[in-house]
Structure 1
Amino acid sequence: MGRNPERRTALVDAAIEVLAQEGARGLTFRAVDTRAAVPVGTASNYFTGRDDLFMQAGARIHVRNTPDPDAVGEEARAAGPTREMLTGLMRALVRRMADDRSGYLALLELRLEATRRPALQRQLNQNVRAAFEESARSYVDARLPGDADTFLVLYLAMTGLMLEHFTLPEMLSDARIDQLVETVVARIVPLE
């Protein structure tokens, strides 16, 4: 197996791009090699098979999508835990995800593929659950408005908003996204 960590990361990032553009069926070693602009056969030196490639892509997406919890906490403490500040954090989340559109679309592809691959489903469950629990703890620790249930409902609403935004972009125009984020937060988060 290849041991160059930078090349492995580049190959996994290429796999994420392939997933986002071609779906799970298009994720082949040859497609990853082509996307990463490396010699044919390189990906097969780094991954034991497609399952390994799926697993590595799932893990990498979460690394790419996870914000720095200290920066989020500092922003919350500096601005004070208000609904307006939370709206700003949610807008920043939407922008961060939009900046890594391929990562988000690849994650959707992986979630669908996980319905057919139990090992991938276990890994995604573990990764998503860990990220969710860390975000919920950060939310409560930052003393943001509401409680853990507020965070849960906000999480579910925002993931639905992002699903619509990325899969049917004409349904929710970009011009309305900021307003929709504000509406979601206003309807879910209690006034203090």
Structure 2
Amino acid sequence: MMSTTDRRTLIVEAAIDLIATQGLRAMTHRALDTALALPAGSASYYFRSKRALVEAIVDRITARSRTDFAAAQLAPTGPPEPEAIARGIAAWLDRLLAERRNQLIARHALILDLLSDADMHARLANSLFSATRARDLFHALGVADPDGTAADFIALLEGAVFDRFAGARAHLAPGTEDSRRRLTVALATFFRGALP
């Protein structure tokens, strides 16, 4: 028998998939019950409102992002070499695009939908990349303005992610050498311009 936590996780993952494949409006309690072949009313039993479900989605994306970012160990271990740093971050970003595509799409859809909800919007907007870790990276690299450079870097990452699932390079499959190379070029250009 499935535990309550497992059932809630299953519903949240199905909600993320529905948003990513059919759009935000498709995410209803009834659609989740249908998608998961659950008895009618099951999704609403676990998440009484749409807001409760959205909060659970935000929590899920945020928790997974923190885990992924911590596991990536992106800080340089030696002298700052823009190409090496860019390759490491590009490989990590490529993995995100391959393994978490639906989460990335759902996150962007929700960011737009939650513009008027300052708390939820901020949580989601800051859920994918760590501003603190980015600032620490640029501080370690001796950048004069680590805060501003970190914000610019995160903007570049956000744009690269969006471009890869909904922009001009959506056709470029993650998990390929070409995908990692294209990401590396953009990131290396940024690092060369940012480093002293």
Is the shorter-chain TM-score for this pair beyond 0.5, marking a shared fold?
Answer: yes
Distance 1:89 1:144, change over 3 A: farther
Distance 1:144 1:177, change over 3 A: farther
The question of whether the paired residues in 2 share the 8 Å contact of 1:87 and 1:182 is answered with yes
Q: What's 1:188 paired with? A: 190
Amino acid across the alignment from 1:105 = I
CA RMSD of aligned residues (A): 2.7
Residues 121-130 or 178-187, more deviating = 121-130
Q: In structure 2, the residue corresponding to 1:76 is in which secondary structure?
A: coil
**Percent identity of equivalent pairs:** 25
Q: What's 2:131 paired with? A: 133
**Unaligned 5+ residue runs, structure 1?**
none
The question of whether the paired residues in 1 share the 8 Å contact of 2:18 and 2:27 is answered with yes
Q: What's 1:178 paired with? A: 180
Answer yes or no: is 1:148 the counterpart of 2:147. Answer: yes
**Unaligned 5+ residue runs, structure 2?**
none
TM-score, with length taken from structure 2: 0.78
Q: How many residues align?
A: 185
Query: In 1, Cα distance between the equivalents of 2:142 and 2:96?
Result: 22
TM-score, with length taken from structure 1: 0.79
Describe how 1:1-192 pairs up with structure 2 within 5 A. Answer: 4-73=4-73, 76-78=75-77, 81-91=80-90, 92-115=92-115, 118-119=116-117, 121-129=118-126, 132-140=130-138, 143-144=140-141, 146=143, 147-168=146-167, 173-174=172-173, 176-190=178-192
